[in-house]
């Protein structure tokens, strides 16, 4: 499942059209001819998720939580409302829950049954998040999965895995890196990676971005 | 259904392989499979749980051999055919053959952002009270419905603790079969890694699932 997409690499823009290219085009033609879809709406959907909604949204939420104690409190008490105040919500983000990483507890998010992911704050999920290795192993061997990301946590740090089995969508608020005192929200947001908001990474350190 | 989609705890899939600088889509057709699926939600009239079932409802070997958007696309074709919106002949020909079936609404370009912003809230009003409260011990029921369910196999039969009463939410097991939303209380239930995996689990790990009340039974203290 994880690698099947590779078959389309390199063929997509050539004259030899892949089977999936032909099949999706054919269905699109039928749906247009029958008046079930409008081409401009299809284009707008693609543009929105390719260009507009992505992990930069979530990074703004995290940076604000790092500098604004009131917002932080609100975020953990009512994620949907606090995140909504920044203009993010809606599809795959109607019921948002923010999870606080601390030295004692490290949170990780998975969807073992499909690919539930907080689109509203992180955009569409990466391929590995939807892959069989991540979906199968995270609940049983979270430390092994973190090792695949080059990450080792202290043995006494508890790991809490959140399996997204309902319409609640989880985002992790990573710990604020040391040496960032006095930084602006915009500058802090640059340290917040997508993986740190899934729980398979940490926020970048100041020396990683200079 | 006990299909290949229910992967929690399976062995043998190998390491997770993150892709540096991964693009949002890996091919042009993936964009189309994604956008057609979203756009057809409105005229198609199916709900999210029916879509999920259409994706998982296939031979496990086939499921595991398909890429993510191949599964989405196969489910879209299946739902369109099932509802008589598109025929097998049309798919084979690559063109419309018959008259379109009347649909309630078509997604207009002007409505895209509005529709995405509204999303699909699943919380519903209720006049019932939740059966469980935070701290209660509960056992995930042993159930094996051949239809859609959101109770993963790896927690069935195991004892966990209610951490949070989330609210009253649309019940996927009913919604997926067309039996209506049948809203039920939803809880976040936490299981110790050792409860789920025994000595092979990580002693310093916990796993939570979001579970509807019909999935749970009270464990009375001795």
What average pLDDT does the segment A149-173 reach?
A: 97
Cβ-based neighbours of B142, under 8 Å, separated by 6 or more: B156, B157
pLDDT at B13: 98
Q: Are residues A90 and A192 in the same domain?
A: yes
Given the residues A92, A111, A164, A196, select the one marked as catalytic: A111
Cα–Cα distance between B30 and B24 in angstroms, integer? Answer: 10
Q: Are residues A100 and A177 in the same domain?
A: yes
Q: Are residues A15 and A79 in the same domain?
A: no
Active site residue A136: no
Residues of B in contact with A132 (CB under 8 A): 7, 10, 13, 64
pLDDT at B91: 97
pLDDT at A16: 61
Q: Is B90 on the interface with A (CB under 8 A)?
A: yes
Q: Are residues A185 and A130 in the same domain?
A: yes
Q: Are residues A155 and A187 in the same domain?
A: yes
**Ranges in chain B annotated CATH 2.30.30.50:** 137-218
pLDDT range class, residue B97, cuts 50, 70, 90: very high
In CATH, which superfamily holds the domain spanning B28-118?
A: Nitrile hydratase, beta subunit (1.10.472.20)
The pair phi, psi for residue B20, each rounded to 5°, is -60, 140
pLDDT range class, residue B220, cuts 50, 70, 90: confident
B165-199 pLDDT tens trace: 999 999 999 999 999 999 999 999 999 999 999 99
Q: Are residues A127 and A101 in the same domain?
A: yes
Residue burial A148-182, b: 16+ Cβ < 10 Å; e: rest: bbeeebeeeebbbbbbbbbbbbbbbbbebbeebee
What beta strand segments (E) does chain A contain? Answer: 95-100, 105-110, 158-163, 168-173
B159-169/B137-140 β-pairing = antiparallel
The pair phi, psi for residue B85, each rounded to 5°, is -85, -30
Total domain count, chain A: 2
Q: Are residues A28 and A123 in the same domain?
A: no
Nearest one of A149, A167, A162, A131 to B10, comparing CA atoms: A131
Residue A63 three-state SS: helix
CATH class of the B137-218 domain in this structure: mainly beta
Q: Is A143 on the interface with B (CB under 8 A)?
A: yes
CB spacing of B85 vs A34 below 8 angstroms: yes
Residue A170 three-state SS: strand
Q: Are residues A71 and A84 in the same domain?
A: yes
Cα–Cα distance between A93 and A80 in angstroms, integer? Answer: 8
CB spacing of A41 vs B63 below 8 angstroms: no
CB spacing of A127 vs B68 below 8 angstroms: yes
pLDDT at B221: 75
End-to-end CA gap in chain B: 34
Active site residue A92: no
| Interface list for B 115-174 with A (CB within 8 A) | 115-123, 150-152, 154, 166, 169-170, 172
CB spacing of A168 vs B166 below 8 angstroms: yes
Residue A4 to chain B, least CA–CA distance (Å): 5
Domain containing A29 equals 4-51
Residues of B in contact with A134 (CB under 8 A): 16
Q: Are residues A21 and A77 in the same domain?
A: no
Cβ-based neighbours of B75, under 8 Å, separated by 6 or more: B37, B51, B54, B55
Q: Are residues A102 and A187 in the same domain?
A: yes
Active site residue A164: no
pLDDT at A210: 73
Nearest one of B78, B84, B87 to B51, comparing CA atoms: B78
**Ranges in chain B annotated CATH 1.10.472.20:** 28-118
pLDDT range class, residue B163, cuts 50, 70, 90: very high
The pair phi, psi for residue A66, each rounded to 5°, is -75, -30
B133-144 pLDDT tens trace: 999 999 999 999
Q: Does the pLDDT value for residue A13 go beyond 50?
A: no
Among the residue ranges A12-26, A86-100, A186-200, B117-131, the one predicted with the least confidence is: A12-26
Q: Answer for the pair A162, A170: CB distance below 8 angstroms, yes or no.
A: yes
Residues of B in contact with A155 (CB under 8 A): 204
Cα–Cα distance between B146 and B125 in angstroms, integer? Answer: 29
Give the CATH number for residue A152. 3.90.330.10
Residue A23 to chain B, least CA–CA distance (Å): 8
**Interior CA angle at A167 toward A161 and A170, to 5°?**
40
Q: Are residues A37 and A69 in the same domain?
A: no
Residue A181 to chain B, least CA–CA distance (Å): 29
What beta strand segments (E) does chain B contain? Answer: 137-140, 159-169, 184-192, 205-212, 216-218
A71-119 pLDDT tens trace: 999 999 999 999 999 999 999 999 999 999 999 999 999 999 999 999 9
Cα–Cα distance between A53 and B147 in angstroms, integer? Answer: 33
pLDDT at A10: 42
Structure pTM? 0.95
Q: Does the pLDDT value for residue A2 go beyond 50?
A: no
Q: Are residues A44 and A61 in the same domain?
A: no
pLDDT at A14: 46
A132-157 pLDDT tens trace: 999 999 999 999 999 999 999 999 99
């Amino acid at each position: 499942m994880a690698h099947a997409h590779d078959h389309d690499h390199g063929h997509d823009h050539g004259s030899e059209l892949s089977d999936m290219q032909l099949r999706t085009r054919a269905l699109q033609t039928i749906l247009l001819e029958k008046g079930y879809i409008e081409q401009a709406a299809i284009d707008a959907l693609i543009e929105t998720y390719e260009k507009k909604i992505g992990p930069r949204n979530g990074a703004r939420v995290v940076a604000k939580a790092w500098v604004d104690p009131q917002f932080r409190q609100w975020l953990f008490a009512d994620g949907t409302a606090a995140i909504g105040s920044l203009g993010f919500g809606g599809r795959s983000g109607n019921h948002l829950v923010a999870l606080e990483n601390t030295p004692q507890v490290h949170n990780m998010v998975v969807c073992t049954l499909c690919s539930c992911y907080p689109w509203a704050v992180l955009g569409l999920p990466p391929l590995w998040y939807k892959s069989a290795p991540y979906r199968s192993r995270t609940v049983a061997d979270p430390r092994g999965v973190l090792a695949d990301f080059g990450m080792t946590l202290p043995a006494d740090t508890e790991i809490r895995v959140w399996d997204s089995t309902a319409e609640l969508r989880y985002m992790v608020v990573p710990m604020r890196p040391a040496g960032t005192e006095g930084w602006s929200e915009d500058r802090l947001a640059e340290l917040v990676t997508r993986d740190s908001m899934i729980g398979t990474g940490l926020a970048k350190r100041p020396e990683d971005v200079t | 259904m006990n299909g290949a989609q229910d992967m929690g705890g399976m062995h043998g899939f190998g390491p997770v392989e993150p892709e540096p600088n991964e693009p949002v889509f890996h091919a042009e057709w993936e964009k189309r499979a994604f956008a057609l699926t979203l756009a057809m939600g409105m005229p198609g009239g199916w709900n999210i749980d029916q879509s999920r079932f259409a994706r998982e409802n296939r031979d496990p070997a086939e499921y595991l051999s398909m890429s993510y958007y191949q599964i989405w696309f196969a489910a879209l074709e299946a739902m369109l055919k099932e509802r008589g919106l598109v025929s097998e002949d049309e798919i084979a020909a690559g063109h419309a053959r018959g008259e379109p079936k009347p649909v309630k609404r078509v997604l207009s370009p002007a409505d895209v952002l509005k529709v995405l912003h509204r999303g699909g809230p699943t919380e519903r009003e209720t006049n019932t009270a939740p059966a469980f409260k935070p701290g209660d011990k509960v056992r995930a029921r042993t159930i094996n419905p051949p239809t859609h369910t959101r109770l993963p196999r790896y927690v069935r039969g195991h004892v966990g603790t209610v951490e949070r009463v989330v609210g009253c939410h649309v019940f996927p097991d009913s919604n997926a079969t067309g039996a209506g939303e049948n809203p039920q209380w939803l809880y976040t239930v936490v299981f110790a890694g050792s409860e789920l995996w025994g000595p092979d689990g990580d002693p310093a790990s916990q796993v939570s699932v979001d579970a509807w009340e019909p999935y749970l039974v009270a464990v009375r203290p001795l």
